Amino acid sequence: LPPTIQQLALRKLLMIDHAETINDLSLPPANHLEKLSHDRQGQYSIRINNQYRICFAIRNGNEFYDVEIVDYHHG
């Protein structure tokens, strides 16, 4: 990740780590919590910025797994 967004990415990862439910990630609105589809069906994402997203899956209502940072400009 570019150094300019590493701190923001860390903050978002900590939000995921501390979330008790998926709804906890709907705030702040800048997260743009989104349920994904197609090849990422069953996953969600929150935005780091316009280019990068954190994608993840959830089970049992509060277990976040398969967490990854994705560059949406490069697939």
Q: Which amino acid is at 40?
A: R
Q: Which amino acid is at 32?
A: H
Judged by average pLDDT, the poorest of 4-8, 28-32, 69-73 is: 69-73
Instruction: Identify the CATH class of 3-74.
Output: alpha beta
What's the average model confidence in pLDDT over 39-63?
A: 95
For the entire predicted model, the pTM comes to 0.91
* Terminal-residue alpha carbon distance, the chain: 15
The Cα 31–Cα 8 span in angstroms is 11
